[in-house]
């Protein structure tokens, strides 16, 4: 059974990757997850300098999912290159660096600093960050700003450039089309869905960051709809994610138009989730009477 | 140190320890070699695992205990487990207590469900400590006081007990007896676990002299250091920084932490 897929120029041994922010910088799950078996890993978002993140509590369990308000805490690109990249270079899997910034300049600073470094297979722009020059609304809110940041970053690098969409927008297809026009190589979708919870014991918002991002099975239908819509709006490949726990979930994303997927929240409860899916995928494909992952990509799209 | 793994362990006994408090003993030779103060992440229905400290570690019998208070759906589900059932556990996790210094008076200070890891520490190291060993246990009321008999079976002199309502022991918090102990043993070593305000007060009290190790709680995602959910503010070489309770802790030296 052929599990290999391509996301543009990036070839993955199988379509299962770890989602940004849920797998640290790689070594944290050593001994629990065999990284070499994964299709790839997306590391925690990296900014030009250190970001402190939000006050705790930073996570809160909800029905069928969880909220997080980590606030993109990370040590900055310099420390990342010095302390985390050496380990990532030794891994036998694809490494995707998730990039964050509060201005277009900041995104470019990170990407330019990474240019000198080996061991990076793709960049994933997280455009859900607050755009401080435009009053804190995220870059991902409208096609114009999403295209501006993507165009600027495109000019700094030849590396495969994936743009990660926020689902908290009216028309994700339009945003995907806008970033495709200015040179994005793939679309990652989706980031978390904005939400909140109240801690009745404290009579306060449950999260230190007040609102947070919903992830886990609860958002899978939202994610599938975004992937399905984006697949009809662009011709570049899609990396799908949102609530994936099982091989059947993966196949749903493939059929909706994703070429590969990422698993995030499910790893917290079951660190073995990704490897279990990779294990089960050949049998599942055989039952569907296909001989490669490739045959399923977009199978549920209109006209297929 | 045992590296963490996901495994299933059989419950060999289940005990009601106090109102809403249950202890499960697992047949788990690997976990039984953990360090007191370390914890496990237990699979319960729902999105996230539940962090629980070891209440007992018996490497000879290959048994590890988990003692918890029922506070929500996860712990309620755990309390419904019976002898012979299996638990899905990720662990052992985190940095436990250090081995106590043999010649420093040692005081174990537990509040509520903070008491169990101190019992694990006591039984692991009491024979190593030649100086005096004391325990101070606090609870909301008599109904909620756990492990007094367990401690009593190990320590041959009276154990200080406090309750918020005075239903058993002295009315008040563990701070009263601890201040007393500290005055008599200014260079002593304190191991404490309990609610954050209690730990903050222990840290303040121990600022002048002696050493204190505190076992903290924080809401967790992964439990292995990957998600940065479980942070507390600590002193770093270049100013304050967040440290992860699951990976850098749960046990910290009092002066490492910054209290808001
Ligand atoms: C390192 C560590 C060790 C612990 N050891 C023990 C122990 O030995 N005995 C014991 O009774 N309790 C212990 N706790 C607290 C225990 O984890 C919570 O009481 C439990 O997770 C509550 O789950 P629930 O579903 O019943 O409650 P809910 O309040 O419904 O839980 C909702 C969510 O909040 C989290 N949560 C709730 N309270 C806490 C808390 N105090 N700390 C961290 N997360 C929390 C839960 O894990 C879950 O994700 C420990 C916590 C930590 C971090
Ligand atoms: C704790 C946590 C931290 C995250 N951090 C990031 C991040 O730094 N950058 C990013 O692009 N996405 C981040 N995400 C979003 C995930 O990568 C993923 O898009 C989302 O959680 C949906 O997938 P899931 O339901 O499988 O978790 C984070 C998610 C979680 C739960
Ligand atoms: S719980 Fe994920 S870093 Fe501590």
Is B227 close to A271, i.e. CB distance below 8 A? no
The DSSP letter of residue B175 is H
Please give the backbone phi and psi of residue A53, each rounded to the nearest 5 degrees, phi first. Answer: 80, -175
Instruction: Say what the pLDDT of residue A138 is.
Output: 87
Instruction: Say what the pLDDT of residue A135 is.
Output: 66
Is residue A59 within 8 A of residue B229, CB to CB? The reply is yes
Q: How far apart are CA B221 and CA A30, in angstroms?
A: 17
Sheet of B170-171: strand order equals: B170-171, B160-163, B133-139, B106-111, B189-193, B211-215, B251-253
pLDDT tens digits, one per residue of B109-143: 999 999 999 999 999 999 999 999 999 999 999 99
Instruction: Say what the pLDDT of residue A2 is.
Output: 87
Q: Exactly one of A81, A108, A129, A156 is catalytic; which is it?
A: A129
Bridging pattern class, strands B189-193 and A16-18? unpaired
Instruction: Say what the pLDDT of residue A221 is.
Output: 98
B231 lines ligand 3 (CB under 6 A): no
pLDDT tens digits, one per residue of B57-115: 999 999 999 999 999 999 999 999 999 999 999 999 999 999 999 999 999 999 999 99
Which residues make beta-bridge pairs with A46?
A: A99
pLDDT tens digits, one per residue of A142-187: 999 999 999 999 999 999 999 999 999 999 999 999 999 999 999 9
Is residue B57 within 8 A of residue B38, CB to CB? The reply is no
Q: B5-93 has which CATH code?
A: 2.40.30.10
**Among candidates B103, B86, B67, which has minimal Cα distance to B187?**
B103
Does position B260 have pLDDT exceeding 90, yes or no? no
Q: Is the pTM of this model over 0.90?
A: yes
The residue behind tokens 């993109």 is A72
- CATH pick for B106-217 out of 3.40.50.80, 3.40.50.720, 3.40.50.12160, 2.60.40.1220: 3.40.50.80
Instruction: Say what the pLDDT of residue A304 is.
Output: 82
The DSSP letter of residue B183 is H
List C-alpha distances in Å: A38 to A191, A249, B210, B221. Answer: 20, 17, 49, 21
Does position A237 have pLDDT exceeding 80, yes or no? yes
Long-range contacts from A288-295, C-beta under 8 angstroms, 24+ separation: A288/A251, A291/A1, A291/A2, A292/A1, A292/A2, A292/A3, A292/A4, A293/A2, A293/A3, A293/A4, A293/A5, A293/A14, A293/A15, A293/A254, A294/A2, A294/A5
Domain boundaries, chain B: 5-93, 106-217
Question: What is the 3-state secondary structure of A124-157?
Answer: EEECCCECHHHCCCEHHHCHHHHHHHHHHHHCCC
| A40-99 residues touching B, CB cutoff 8 A | 44, 52-53, 56-62, 64-66, 68, 70, 73
Nearest residue on chain B to A24, judged by CA atoms?
B226
- Could you tell me which residues come within 8 angstroms of residue A142 by beta carbon, excluding any fewer than 6 positions away? A169, A175
Does position A72 have pLDDT exceeding 90, yes or no? yes
Does position A236 have pLDDT exceeding 80, yes or no? yes
Ramachandran class of A192: left when φ > 0, alpha when ψ lies in -120 to 50, beta otherwise: beta
For A181, other C-beta atoms within 10 Å of its C-beta total 13
Is A29 close to B231, i.e. CB distance below 8 A? no
Is B227 close to A21, i.e. CB distance below 8 A? yes
Is residue B228 within 8 A of residue B249, CB to CB? The reply is no
pLDDT, mean over chain A: 96
User: Which atom of ligand 1 lies nearest, measured to the CA of B71?
Assistant: 26
Is residue A98 within 8 A of residue A43, CB to CB? The reply is yes
Is residue B83 within 8 A of residue B14, CB to CB? The reply is yes
Is the fold of B5-93 the same as that of B106-217? no
pLDDT tens digits, one per residue of B9-54: 999 999 999 999 999 999 999 999 999 999 999 999 999 999 999 9
Whether residue A129 lies in the annotated active site: yes
Handedness of CA A22, A28, A33, A39 (dihedral sign): positive
The residue behind tokens 């939000």 is A54
Give distance in angstroms: CA of B41 to centre of ligand 1: 10
Instruction: Say what the pLDDT of residue A130 is.
Output: 73
Instruction: Say what the pLDDT of residue A128 is.
Output: 86
Instruction: Say what the pLDDT of residue B136 is.
Output: 97
pLDDT tens digits, one per residue of B198-225: 999 999 999 999 999 999 999 999 999 9
Give distance in angstroms: CA of B252 to centre of ligand 1: 18
When pLDDT is cut at 50, 70 and 90, the band that residue B2 belongs to is confident
> Mind giving me the DSSP string for A73-121?
-B--HHHIIIIIHHHHHHSSSEEEEEE--SSHHHHHHHHHHHHT-SS--
Nearest residue on chain A to B2, judged by CA atoms?
A31
Does position A30 have pLDDT exceeding 80, yes or no? yes
ipTM: 0.95
Handedness of CA B70, B76, B81, B86 (dihedral sign): negative
Per-residue tokens: A268: 């917290």
First to last CA, chain B: 33
Mean pLDDT of B227-248: 95
For A166, other C-beta atoms within 10 Å of its C-beta total 24
When pLDDT is cut at 50, 70 and 90, the band that residue A129 belongs to is confident
Q: How far apart are CA A256 and CA A258, in angstroms?
A: 6
Mean pLDDT of B160-179: 94
Q: Which CATH architecture has domain A5-295?
A: Alpha-Beta Barrel (3.20)
- Could you tell me which residues come within 8 angstroms of residue B190 by beta carbon, excluding any fewer than 6 positions away? B107, B108, B109, B178, B182, B202, B206, B210, B211, B212, B213
Mean pLDDT of A35-43: 97
Count the helices and strands in chain A (H runs, E runs).
Answer: 9, 16
Domain boundaries, chain A: 5-295
């Amino acid at each position: 059974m052929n599990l290999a897929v391509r996301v543009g120029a990036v070839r993955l041994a199988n379509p299962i990757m770890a989602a940004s922010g849920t797998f640290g910088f790689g070594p944290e799950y050593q001994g629990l997850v065999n990284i070499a078996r994964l299709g790839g890993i997306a590391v925690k978002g990296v900014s030009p300098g250190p970001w402190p993140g939000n006050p705790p509590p930073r996570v809160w369990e909800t029905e069928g999912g969880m909220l997080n308000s980590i606030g993109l805490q990370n040590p900055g690109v310099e420390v990342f290159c010095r302390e985390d990249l050496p380990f990532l270079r030794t891994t036998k899997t694809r490494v995707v660096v998730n990039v964050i910034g509060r201005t277009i300049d900041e995104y470019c600073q990170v990407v330019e600093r990474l240019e000198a470094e080996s061991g990076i297979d793709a960049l994933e722009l997280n455009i859900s960050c607050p755009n401080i020059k435009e009053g804190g609304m995220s870059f991902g809110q409208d096609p114009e700003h999403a295209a501006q940041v993507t165009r600027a970053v495109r000019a700094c690098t030849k590396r495969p450039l994936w743009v990660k969409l926020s689902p908290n927008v009216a028309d994700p297809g339009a945003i995907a089309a806008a970033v495709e026009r200015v040179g994005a190589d793939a679309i990652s979708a989706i980031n978390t869905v904005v939400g909140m919870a109240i801690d009745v014991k404290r009579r306060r918002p449950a999260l230190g960051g007040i609102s947070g991002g919903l992830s886990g099975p609860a958002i899978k239908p939202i994610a599938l709809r975004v992937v399905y819509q984006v697949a009809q709006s662009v011709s570049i490949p899609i990396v799908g994610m949102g609530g994936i726990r099982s091989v059947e979930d993966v196949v749903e994303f493939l059929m909706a138009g994703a070429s590969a997927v990422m698993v995030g929240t499910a790893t917290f409860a079951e660190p073995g989730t990704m490897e279990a899916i990779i294990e089960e995928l050949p049998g599942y494909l055989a039952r569907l009477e296909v001989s490669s992952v490739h045959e399923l990509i977009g199978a549920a799209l209109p006209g297929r | 140190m045992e590296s963490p793994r996901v495994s299933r362990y059989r419950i060999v006994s289940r005990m009601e320890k106090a109102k809403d408090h249950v202890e499960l003993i697992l047949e788990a030779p690997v976990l039984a070699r953990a360090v007191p103060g370390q914890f496990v992440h237990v699979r319960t229905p729902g999105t996230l695992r539940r962090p629980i400290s070891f209440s007992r570690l018996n490497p000879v019998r290959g048994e590890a205990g988990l003692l918890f208070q029922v506070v929500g759906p996860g712990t309620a589900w755990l309390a419904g487990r019976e002898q012979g059932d299996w638990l899905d556990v990720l662990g052992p996790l985190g940095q436990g207590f250090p081995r106590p210094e043999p010649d420093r008076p040692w005081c174990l200070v537990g509040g509520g469900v903070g008491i169990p890891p101190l019992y694990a520490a006591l039984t692991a190291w009491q024979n190593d400590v030649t100086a005096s060993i004391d325990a101070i246990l606090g609870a909301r009321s008599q109904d909620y006081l756990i492990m007094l008999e367990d401690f009593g079976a190990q320590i041959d002199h009276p154990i200080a007990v406090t309750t918020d309502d005075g239903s058993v022991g002295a009315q008040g918090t563990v701070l009263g007896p601890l201040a007393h102990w500290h005055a008599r043993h200014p260079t002593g070593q304190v191991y404490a676990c309990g609610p954050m305000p209690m730990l903050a007060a222990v840290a303040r009290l121990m600022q002048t002299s002696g050493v204190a190790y505190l076992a903290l709680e924080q809401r967790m995602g992964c439990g292995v250091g990957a998600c940065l959910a479980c942070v507390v503010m600590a002193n770093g070489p270049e100013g304050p920084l967040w440290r992860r309770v699951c990976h850098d802790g749960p046990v910290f030296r009092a002066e490492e932490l910054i209290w808001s």
